[in-house]
């Protein structure tokens, strides 16, 4: 009877050890999960900042392109006017 009780207690202790080991593994997994989540949040924030910078740069580039086209058109008008004046004087 004593041996059966001892064996039973030994099995219970082994099971408790396994449960304890499993709980410690779960705690490590939870810590890793928290680390992954923190890194993901940091990357999302960085991507948001990059998107904002791209949007600002895109807007500035569009404004500069519009001004550049206006200057180019004005240049062509001046060139065409100068060419017509020169051709008018040559004739």
- Whether 12 is covered by a domain: the verdict is yes
Residue 76 placed within a domain: no
Query: What is the per-residue pLDDT for 67?
Result: 82
Task: Tell me the C-alpha to C-alpha distance, in Å, between residue 48 and each of 44, 60, 76.
Answer: 6, 18, 42
**How many other C-beta atoms lie within 10 A of the C-beta of residue 50?**
10
Cα gap 45→25, rounded to integer Å: 30
Residue 80: per-residue pLDDT: 93
Q: Domain tally for the chain?
A: 1
Confidence at residue 33, expressed as pLDDT on a 0 to 100 scale:
96
- pTM of the complete model: 0.54
Residue 24 lies in a domain: yes
- Residue 35 domain-assigned? yes
**Full domain range(s) for residue 6:** 1-65
- Mean pLDDT in consecutive groups of 10 residues from the start of the chain, 91 residues: 89 95 95 96 97 95 85 92 85 62
- Indicate whether 9 belongs to any domain: yes
Residue 73 maps to a domain: no
């Amino acid at each position: 009877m004593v041996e059966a009780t001892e064996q039973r207690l030994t099995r219970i202790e082994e099971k408790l050890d396994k449960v304890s080991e499993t709980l410690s593994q779960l705690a490590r997994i939870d810590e890793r999960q928290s680390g992954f989540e923190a890194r993901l949040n940091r990357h999302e924030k960085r991507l948001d900042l990059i998107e904002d910078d791209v949007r600002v740069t895109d807007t500035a580039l569009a404004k500069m392109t519009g001004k550049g086209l206006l200057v180019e058109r004005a240049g062509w008008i001046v060139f065409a006017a100068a060419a017509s004046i020169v051709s008018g004087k040559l004739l």
